[in-house]
Amino acid sequence: MNVIKRSGKEVDFDDNKIRQAIIKANNSVKDLTLCLTDDEIEKIVKSVVSKCDNFGRAVNVEEIQDIVEEEIMRMGSYRVSKNYITYRYKRELIRKSNTTDDHILTLIEGQNEEVKQENSNKNPTVNSVQRDYMAGEVSKDITKRFLLPEDVIEAHENGLLHFHDSDYYAQHMHNCDLVNLEDMLQNGTVISGTMIEKPHSFSTACNIATQIIAQVASSQYGGQSISLAHLAPFVDISRKKIYKDVLEEFETLGITNAENKIKEIVEKRLHKEITKGIQTIQYQVVTLMTTNGQAPFITEFLYLNEAKNEREKDDLALIIEETLIQRTRGIKNEQGIWITPAFPKIIYVLEEDNIKEGSKYYYLTELAAKCTAKRLVPDYISEKIMKQLKEGSCFPVMGCRSALNPWYDENGKPKYYGRFNQGVVTINLVDVACSAQDLNDFWKVFDERLELCHKALRCRHDRLCGTPSDVAPILWQHGALARLKPGEKIDKLLYGGYSSISLGYAGLWESVYKLIGKKLTEQAGQELGLEIMKYMNKKCEEWKKVENIAYSIYGTPLESTTYKFAKCLQKRFGIIPGVTDKNYITNSYHVHVTEPINAFDKLKLESTFQSLSSGGAISYIEVPNMQNNIEAVLSVIKFIYNNIMYAELNTKSDYCQCCGYTGEIQIITDKNNKLIWECPNCKNRDQTKMNVARRTCGYIGTQFWNQGRTQEIKERVLHL
């Protein structure tokens, strides 16, 4: 068993430290009749060790001290307990005088386990990541001491809510974007003070797109999405350019009456350019390192019906085809082995002319199915269902799931690209349910917590108000989101529904079970779950009506937060079977990962909840290796098209660098009761010598997850 110190460093559990702390408190009591005996001290130590061991994970110092207090009180020695509490309080005052140094030092030395496990796509040993984390520690400290109200900070620390991305809050930064790549490519942009004009070829357009992606990623902290349809017009520009070159070559050689041959050569060269352009995007995205120390969190949107005419649609199909082929192949790691990259994330839109066998673009859907079976992407949006939910429009989510609602310009035209999300605050629904005395009391507590979240969301919004466009020219002045003047404030983009702000939620499954003892898969549980979702929507509408700010509810993709919430729940309420007995809580409205349910029933059930989560959500099914059963993948894809707006298939894609094993790398429990990854072939446990790819929150991560998320992955049941 291990202990996580306040600095974040993980060390071996040492029961003698507990013993010595109790002895010191005991010795400080002057009246010997009020002291603990040696036997009583040993009983306390054994009880503390037993309770810590039952957590099934590394415990932190605060948790241990809470248990020590309880056990001393249980022994009836109130004077010793009082002295122990007083000692803790004095130490806390000393620590509060400097809140960042220890965290930064352990971070620099690579000893901070919490930071190591915070983001599975960041390597905390790399200087650029450390620099970002160091800045983040300062931002968190400033945010905690100066920028946020005390009740919001207290609620965040106790796990009642989560104020996302406080490590960036001190700066005037926002969350996710739908990048207006079309405007930037067609009308030009400026990158680092350099004018970038409209490109004259497809390959140049791809190269510029990657530069835009990098610049945008360095100017905000969330995900961004681009549409490949915005690259499609440049295919024909290259076609015409290549045609002119080939024609000149034939004329130089004196060859005439060879139009068919010329066209054949043109298409071959064009295909090579498309291959090169897509390869540029793939490799530049995975090799670029943004200022926050990771590859850009970028999503590519593959939607045929965004093309403006049939020629452009066919050209877009060529781009999509090449994208899927290259992603299925993967990228090479240091050993030259083809592996699954985390980014770009890919979303493939299912529509009438690619979902039915025999339809013109069905071959693309077959390619998508093969890619999903091998590389976990693409994810799928149903054009039919999205149009039902989004006023006849179909458009990408931002990053992994953050979704906008329809917005119309002065001409009544819907606009999506160039819009963004201001930020997220997530309510811990499980804590609301556990804090309530009964179902009637739940709604009262729920109201109080929602208002606290509302207060925190207003802090996010108000922090962005007054931001000058100069803070991020690529976003606000040069087309990614707007073309404001230098010095102009972004305020008009924060109101009227142009941008969104998200009330996140987590743990619907556990909260319903706590309240009525029913699962979401049962009729009564489903009805209560939907009622809770509708109530959050009602609150968002009330806030929006008064403030003209686009609040919407958002199915939070908890990564590190799922572990934090679980620990806070166990501390506040103890272990409640089916509610707080895991080291994680369930993402958004999802069916619990341990619940046996088939893929089609799960997607159908979750579609009812997804339709109420207008600010973003995604559903998934867990599947085994499907590379030899593409027909089954296609069956699921067709079901998605007819039943749910946005869904994905989670398969396995692992590689052991020690022995070359390419099957599923397993999660086991080591001698310290810690979950670790192990190659089933050579027993390699070195996380730096394996490539594990799992989708955890709508996007693909690697093996550096925290213990809560690792337990959740381990306990997933197959749905197919």
267 is catalytic: no
Sheet holding 224-227, edge to edge: 177-178, 224-227, 298-302, 345-350, 379-382, 646-650, 619-622
- For 528, list phi and psi in degrees, rounded to 5: -70, -40
For residue 639, what are the CA distances in angstroms to 106, 427, 596, 636, 647? 49, 32, 19, 5, 10
DSSP conformational letter for 703: S
Q: Of 522, 499, 523, 519, whose CA–CA distance to 510 is shortest? A: 519
What span, in angstroms and rounded, lies between the C-alpha atoms of 694 and 342? 9
Q: Is 241 helix (H, G, I), strand (E, B) or coil?
A: helix
Q: Choosing from 176, 645, 690, 697, which is the catalytic residue?
A: 176
Q: Choosing from 273, 351, 559, 606, which is the catalytic residue?
A: 559
175 is catalytic: yes
679 is catalytic: no
What span, in angstroms and rounded, lies between the C-alpha atoms of 50 and 68? 12
Amino acid identity, position 638: K
Q: Choosing from 7, 77, 421, 691, which is the catalytic residue?
A: 421
Strand-pairing partners, residue 622, are: 650
559 is catalytic: yes
207 is catalytic: no
Is residue 563 within 8 A of residue 584, CB to CB? The reply is yes
Q: Choosing from 52, 184, 206, 398, which is the catalytic residue?
A: 398
Beta pairing class for 646-650 and 619-622: parallel
Q: Of 168, 163, 112, 159, whose CA–CA distance to 138 is shortest? A: 168
Look at the alpha carbons of 248, 253, 259, 263 in this order and tell me if their dihedral is positive or negative. negative
Tell me which residue has tokens 């202990």: 3
Q: Choosing from 525, 698, 701, 708, which is the catalytic residue?
A: 698
176 is catalytic: yes
Please name the residues in contact with 404: beta carbons below 8 A apart, sequence gap of 6 or more.
Answer: 178, 395, 398, 416, 419, 421, 500
Is residue 603 within 8 A of residue 521, CB to CB? The reply is no
Please name the residues in contact with 261: beta carbons below 8 A apart, sequence gap of 6 or more.
Answer: none
Q: Choosing from 75, 371, 394, 400, which is the catalytic residue?
A: 400
DSSP conformational letter for 492: G
698 is catalytic: yes
Tell me which residue has tokens 């179902």: 439
Q: For the beta carbon of residue 422, count every other beta carbon within 10 angstroms.
A: 22
Q: Choosing from 133, 554, 620, 646, which is the catalytic residue?
A: 554
Here the tokens at position 81 are 């307990």
Is residue 494 within 8 A of residue 583, CB to CB? The reply is no
Is residue 649 within 8 A of residue 620, CB to CB? The reply is yes
684 is catalytic: no
Q: Of 376, 350, 347, 345, whose CA–CA distance to 361 is shortest? A: 350
What span, in angstroms and rounded, lies between the C-alpha atoms of 417 and 306? 12
What span, in angstroms and rounded, lies between the C-alpha atoms of 221 and 681? 39
60 is catalytic: no
Task: Find the distance separating the first CA and the last CA of the chain, reported in whole Å.
Answer: 36
**Residues with a known catalytic role:** 175-176, 398, 400, 402, 421, 554, 559, 698
